Structure 1
Amino acid sequence: MGMLRGRTALVTGAGRGIGRAIACRLAGDGALVAVHYGTDEESAAETVRLVTDAGGEAFPVRAPLGAPDDVSTLY
């Protein structure tokens, strides 16, 4: 794999469920994964741990997406 090496992926809702699976898959393909969460920091940390334990790279990002001016919180 590694087809996404050098790329960064933002996965919204990556703390659990489908978002977590997508984050793990993208990391497995070589992407640096930004693990987005709204309120559940513990679940996001678990996703980051799963990615890094498998040899990938990830970091958590808290942002209230869907709110006015939400994109600016990602900078």
Structure 2
Amino acid sequence: MPTLHGETVKARAEHAGDKTHAQIARRIGLAESTVSRLLAGTTAPSLATLLAIKGAYGIPLDEMVREDAPEPAASAAEAAR
């Protein structure tokens, strides 16, 4: 599942003068709790959210989204079952 690259967004937000989750939330029109979950990577962003962040901070979509690390391969004992 793709997640938001929180460090990129935080850096651009800070450059724009938004240093808190509340300030970021106001600028992009989301709840502060949603911004917190997005920046922590626990919630996947919708396309509308990505476009709002892009509009607010000028971050290209490909710099904002990252793919989660692949799940670890099953151990040899599990694979033998």
TM over 0.5: no
For the aligned pair, the TM-score class normalised by the smaller chain equals 0.3 to 0.5
Considering Cα pairs closer than 8 Å and 6+ residues apart, tell me whether 1 or 2 has the greater RCO.
2
Q: Which has the higher helix share?
A: 2
The TM-score normalised by the length of structure 2 is 0.31
